């Protein structure tokens, strides 16, 4: 048995560290967000150098207003998120939920533990609901991007909740079972299980899950198909199919993606994209996506994710046995019943506090990948076409051309338009 006095000291230390990380993260994020808002507002009046002939002032100002509106909403989300996290942990939310379910189920077993995880998920979803609705039906609506009706929104909500339960409950049950039955090294087994599920999802997502939400039709014969097929042959790609997705039923934002692995690879174009770009521009956008594939960006990201998650599972494996881990985060551990669901939950909600501080590293890697994919597109199509396509997409998505450089380091997975276009069009 560990010395109880040192355990309570460790718990107090964890509480302090947790509160400190929460405060520091909150301050840092508030600072970044207010920088972004001020920077965009300051550059609202004038187009940045180099864009005067390609972007209209009204489009530039719409992008500024949209960015500011979205970022302001992010500020509210931040404050609420921190309050909710505090409520779940130090203020005793998880502990109360756990003891309520302990008495409701007459003790702790697999079902009670699953109920803890499921009710946490349900309550969190409900808490996120008002802001999500406001984002879709107020902000997106005001700027003319929202195409979702309340009925479609509700249908999506029901479908994704059912799907979440269908996928989430079995994996949670499996991991909880491993935690109880696989001995001290359970975390290695749980990690393997988690990876297996991820690969399964990657395969099921384009083939089974996406069709539940959107209609996919084969790309019709014509100039676009000819261009795209020629490009893919040139780059040595065989895809199972070229599809058009009815993205316009939810949003006016356009996109294209290349998905799946092995023989299940497919190319998907949003109908919104096809409506706005010329065949040459579409080929250039696809070449960019193929560039990601050729450079193995996706596989490398998966490997990185698997590596970091092994580390995370190892840490969880150790923390789950420390009573101060629970006490320090405001949870009274169960006596004579497994604490596995509590450990999972506490770890899942507190880990992002730390990961935010290293997010610039991952954002930088992602932005470097984007440049690489752009370079690939220039070799196999035409840089000018990609540049005009990007400009149209930036305009259609009302992405600001003048983001704050420090904000970009933390939050931008794609380089800002000015940097991408400068590289595409050369000096």
What is the enclosing helix (H) or strand (E) of 271? helix 271-276
Angle value at C-alpha 54, between 49 and 57, nearest 5 degrees: 75
289 is catalytic: yes
Tokens 């490997």, residue located: 303
Contacting residues for 196 by C-beta, under 8 A, at least 6 apart: none
Q: Which candidate in 140, 281, 289, 370 is catalytic?
A: 289
The CB-of-386 to Zn ion minimum distance in angstroms stands at 11
Q: By C-beta, is 85 or 373 nearer to Zn ion?
A: 373
Partners of 259 in beta bridges: 266
Please provide residue 335's backbone torsions phi and psi, each rounded to the nearest 5 degrees. Answer: -100, 130
The CB-of-413 to Zn ion minimum distance in angstroms stands at 9
Q: By C-beta, is 11 or 239 nearer to Zn ion?
A: 239
The pairing of beta strand 241-245 with beta strand 266-270: parallel
What CA–CA distance (Å, rounded) separates 49 from 382? 23
The CB-of-291 to Zn ion minimum distance in angstroms stands at 8
**H-state helical runs in 3-109:** 4-42, 57-88, 93-104
Q: By C-beta, is 177 or 261 nearer to Zn ion?
A: 261
Stretch that binds Zn ion, among 7-15, 56-64, 115-123, 362-370 (CB under 5 A): 362-370
Binding mask 124-163 for Zn ion (x = CB under 5 A): ----------------------------------------
Stretch that binds Zn ion, among 155-163, 165-173, 337-345, 363-371 (CB under 5 A): 363-371
The CB-of-319 to Zn ion minimum distance in angstroms stands at 36
Q: How many CA atoms lie within 13 A of 372 on its CB side?
A: 15
Per-position b or e across 413-424, b if 16+ CB within 10 A of its CB:
ebbbbeebbebb
Q: By C-beta, is 40 or 390 nearer to Zn ion?
A: 390
What CA–CA distance (Å, rounded) separates 25 from 357? 8
Binding mask 317-356 for Zn ion (x = CB under 5 A): ----------------------------------------
395, 59 Cβ separation under 8 angstroms: yes
The CB-of-329 to Zn ion minimum distance in angstroms stands at 38
Q: By C-beta, is 254 or 338 nearer to Zn ion?
A: 254
Q: How many residues bind Zn ion (CB under 5 A)?
A: 2
Token readout for 414 is 């794609």
Q: How many helices (H) and strands (E) would you count in the chain?
A: 18, 4
What value does the CA radius of gyration of the chain take, rounded to a whole number of Å?
24
Residues 365-384 that bind Zn ion (CB under 5 A): 370, 373
Q: By C-beta, is 167 or 298 nearer to Zn ion?
A: 298
The CB-of-292 to Zn ion minimum distance in angstroms stands at 6
What amino acid positions are annotated as catalytic residues?
289
Interface ranges with Zn ion (CB under 5 A): 370, 373
């Amino acid at each position: 048995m560990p010395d109880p006095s040192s355990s309570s000291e460790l718990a107090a230390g964890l509480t302090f560290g947790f509160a400190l990380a929460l405060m520091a993260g909150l301050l840092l994020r508030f600072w970044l967000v207010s920088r972004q808002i001020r920077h965009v507002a300051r550059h609202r009046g004038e187009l940045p150098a180099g864009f005067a002939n390609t972007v209209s002032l009204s489009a530039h100002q719409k992008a500024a207003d949209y960015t500011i509106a979205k970022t302001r909403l992010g500020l509210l989300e931040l404050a609420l998120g921190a309050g909710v996290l505090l409520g779940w942990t130090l203020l005793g939310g998880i502990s109360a939920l756990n003891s309520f379910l302990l008495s409701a189920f007459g003790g702790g077993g697999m079902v009670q533990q699953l109920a803890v995880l499921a009710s946490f998920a349900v309550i969190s979803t409900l808490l996120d609901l008002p802001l999500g609705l406001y984002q879709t039906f107020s902000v997106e609506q005001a700027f003319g991007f929202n195409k979702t009706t309340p009925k479609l929104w509700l249908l999506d909500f029901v479908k994704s909740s059912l799907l979440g339960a269908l996928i989430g409950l079995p994996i949670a049950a499996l991991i909880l079972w491993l935690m109880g039955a696989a001995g001290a090294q359970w975390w290695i087994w749980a990690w393997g299980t988690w990876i297996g599920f991820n690969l399964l999802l990657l395969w099921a997502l384009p083939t089974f899950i996406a069709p539940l939400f959107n209609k996919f039709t084969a790309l019709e014969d014509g100039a676009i198909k000819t261009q795209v097929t020629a490009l893919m042959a040139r780059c040595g790609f065989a895809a199972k199919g070229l599809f058009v997705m009815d993205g316009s039923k939810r949003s006016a934002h356009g996109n294209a993606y290349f998905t799946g692995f092995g023989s299940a690879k497919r190319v998907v174009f949003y109908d919104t994209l096809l409506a706005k770009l010329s065949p040459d521009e579409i080929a250039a956008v696809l070449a960019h996506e193929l560039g990601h594939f050729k450079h193995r960006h996706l596989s490398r990201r998966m490997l990185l994710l698997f590596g970091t998650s092994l580390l995370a599972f190892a840490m969880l494996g150790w923390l789950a046995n420390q009573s101060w881990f629970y006490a320090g985060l405001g949870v009274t551990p169960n006596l004579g019943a497994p604490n596995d669901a509590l450990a999972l939950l506490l770890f899942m909600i507190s880990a992002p506090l730390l990961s935010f501080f290293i997010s610039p590293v991952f954002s930088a890697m992602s932005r470097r990948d984007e440049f690489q994919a752009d370079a690939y597109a220039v070799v196999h199509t035409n840089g000018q076409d990609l540049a005009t396509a990007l400009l149209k997409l930036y305009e259609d998505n009302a992405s600001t051309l003048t983001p704050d450089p420090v904000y970009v380091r933390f939050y931008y997975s794609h380089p800002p338009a000015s940097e991408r276009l400068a590289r595409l069009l050369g000096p």
